[in-house]
Amino acid sequence: MKLFFNILDIGALAAFLVWTTKSPQWNEKKNYRRRLFLMELGYDLVQSHLDRRRQQPHAFRQNVRIAIQALGLTVTISHPTIVSASTGKQRCHICPRERDRKVNTHCSSCNAPCCPHHHTFICTMCNETLSG
What is the structure's pLDDT at 17?
92
One domain, residues 7 and 65 = yes
The tens digit of pLDDT for each residue in 37-47 reads: 999 998 898 88
Last residue of a domain, one of 42, 70, 98: 70
Quick one: average pLDDT of 111-118?
Answer: 76
- Nearest-5° Cα angle at 83, 96 to 60: 110
Q: What is the pTM of this model?
A: 0.43
Domain of 17 in residue numbering reads as 2-70
CB of 108 closer than 8 Å to CB of 122: yes
> Number of folded domains in the chain?
2
Cβ contacts of 19 within 8 Å, gap of 6 or more: 26, 37
One domain, residues 85 and 132 = yes
What is the DSSP secondary-structure string of 71-110?
Answer: TT--------SS--GGG--EE-SSS-TTT--EES-B-TTT
Angle between helices 33-54 and 2-22 (to 10 degrees): 100
The tens digit of pLDDT for each residue in 75-107 reads: 665 444 444 444 678 888 788 777 778 887 777
One domain, residues 42 and 24 = yes
One domain, residues 96 and 132 = yes
Across-strand partners of 103? 90
One domain, residues 64 and 34 = yes
Instruction: Give 3-state DSSP helix, strand, coil % of the chain, rounded to 5.
Output: 50, 5, 45
Distance, in Å, from the CA atom of 111 to the CA atom of 78, rounded to the nearest integer, reads 11
The tens digit of pLDDT for each residue in 5-63 reads: 999 999 999 999 999 999 888 888 888 999 999 999 988 988 888 777 777 656 666 77
Last residue of a domain, one of 41, 70, 99: 70
One domain, residues 35 and 87 = no
Last residue of a domain, one of 39, 70, 101: 70
